Structure 1
């Protein structure tokens, strides 16, 4: 798809206000507490068939970036990405969101007794027939003790986050084995143990790109390496794998060499 680009700029919004952009609205709000941690939330609403993107946008688009550099009393901010959908954009497969998406932001103050002032510079892309890079500025003050300790919107947003797994837990859930190459392109069969694996999203090291297709076996996917750096026929670093299902998970997976 050929994309035309325009740039949209927004003035800083008042606390909690929606910022109106072409094909979208965005706001920064106080999320309250979840499992004892303090959260803010970034909410994006999209018009019509417009799309915005996951941290790995796939074959099209660009990921959002969250810059809290101008904040006050903020020690740390970690952004969490809900499970994406696979979206066909005129033959290019993108990973992202339609209609609405909520990004939980776990924050920690420098001084827990004082309020945090979050100053966010957010860049994200909105694509419909054309792709528009958006730059929005927002701010929100988070009191040390939130008025609503556990908010329903935050709880709902946390349900859409893939659960991170590591070590033995990751090894029990997913495994990979090399299979016969197709058209000279290396392939692996990734098997997900248990649950209902409806889709698989793969984030490889730089320079690699994989095509992912469901296999004939339930909860299995065929990974075909379609792009790779010169003379590297498999990534030595692990892939980050996200499994879409009733209980989404994500974990690192090493692709074994062919015997």
Structure 2
């Protein structure tokens, strides 16, 4: 997908967001009904010195929303926590997505429902924490429409939604080094013979599991991933990059195999060769 087309898509979503935001805002609550979707702010109690929360998005049949990297088209969720109270840091975690391909290209999506775990570090440990979230996200079936919700929730020690949050955390890819001995694993990233700006990524998956690979590059880098014709091997193509790019350039590879997923960070030289 060209950079120009990406800019057009972004402008389209910004314009639609402005339209949906026009008018009187409603008081924030723990849940909100959106376009063919519902969003809920969950409370999961304490985990050591942090609090657990979650963002649960439920979708009508046939609709999907997007991962942190939407792929070739779509709108990734954005979060504004600035009105929260007694919060020093917030980390949103991302369960592994699905790969969806249609006439618009390849997108990385969630269908039916997804819970994004949230780890909250308080400013003062013994004072109450209240989350206030403004979330914008894309909902897509035949066309993609932006949705918006304002949510708020005090976090309590009882953590009524802990089971749902723990289940979602179990689907967040585990961080693993290149060549990790476990299954699944990203084994190697090598220049592809006879191809410019392309790499061969070799992976390992547990017996019988189909491997799916997702790649994320820095801003203004665009990459694509396709199966390489052999089991557990993929071609990663650098579709576009800054003219003055120089290494090392971080690249995050997320490998999904069955019900397991891992995340591996590698580096590229500015000339797109593996480091």
Q: Distance in 1 between matches of 2:154 and 2:221?
A: 41
Answer yes or no: is 1:107 the counterpart of 2:120.
yes
Q: Does 1:124 align with 2:137?
A: yes
Please identify, of 249-258 and 237-246, the stretch whose mean Cα deviation from structure 2 is larger: 249-258
Q: Number of aligned pairs?
A: 251
TM-superposed deviation, 1:69: 0.6
Deviating beyond 6 angstroms after TM superposition, the runs of 4 or more aligned structure 1 residues are 1-4
| Higher share in helix | 2
Deviation, structure 1 residue 111:
1.8
Give 5+ residue unaligned stretches, structure 2: none
Unaligned runs of 5+ in 1: none
Find 1:162's aligned residue among 161, 173, 176: 173
Question: TM-score, normalised on structure 2?
Answer: 0.80
Normalised by the length of structure 1, the TM-score is 0.85
**1:189 shift after superposition:** 0.9
Deviation at 1:86, TM superposition (A): 0.9
Quickly say closer, same or farther: Cα 1:155–1:35, change in 2 above 3 A.
farther
* RMSD, matched Cα: 2.9
Matches within 5 A, 1:1-259: 6-7=16-17, 8-9=20-21, 11-14=26-29, 16=30, 18-33=31-46, 37-143=50-156, 145-148=157-160, 151-166=162-177, 169=180, 173-182=186-195, 185-193=196-204, 195=206, 196=209, 198-230=211-243, 236-245=248-257, 246-255=259-268, 257=273
Map Cα deviations across residues 199-250 of structure 1 (whole Å, 9 max, x no partner).
1100012232222112233322111222233375x86412111111132111
